[in-house]
Amino acid sequence: MEAIIQKVDDFVITGKGISRNWEKADWMILTALGHGALTYRTRAKALWSSSGIYFFFDCEDTLISCTKMKDFEELYLEDVIEIFLWPDENQYVYFEYQISPLGYELPLMVANNNGRFHGWLPFKYTNERRALFRTSVSGGEKKAKAEITGWQAELFIPFELLVGLRNQPPEPGVFWRVNFCRLDFDSSPKTQWSWAVDNMIDNFHSIHDFGRFIFTSREYK
Per residue in 106-146, pLDDT tens? Answer: 999 999 887 788 899 999 999 999 999 999 999 999 999 99
- In whole angstroms, give the CA distance from residue 220 to residue 110: 31
What residues have CB less than 8 Å from 216, skipping those under 6 apart? 4, 5, 6, 7, 172, 173
Q: How confident is the model at residue 197 (pLDDT cuts 50, 70, 90)?
A: confident
Domains and CATH numbers, the chain: 2-216 (2.60.40.1190)
Q: How confident is the model at residue 16 (pLDDT cuts 50, 70, 90)?
A: very high
* pLDDT, tens only, 36-81: 899 999 999 999 999 999 999 999 999 999 999 999 999 999 999 9
Full-model pTM: 0.94
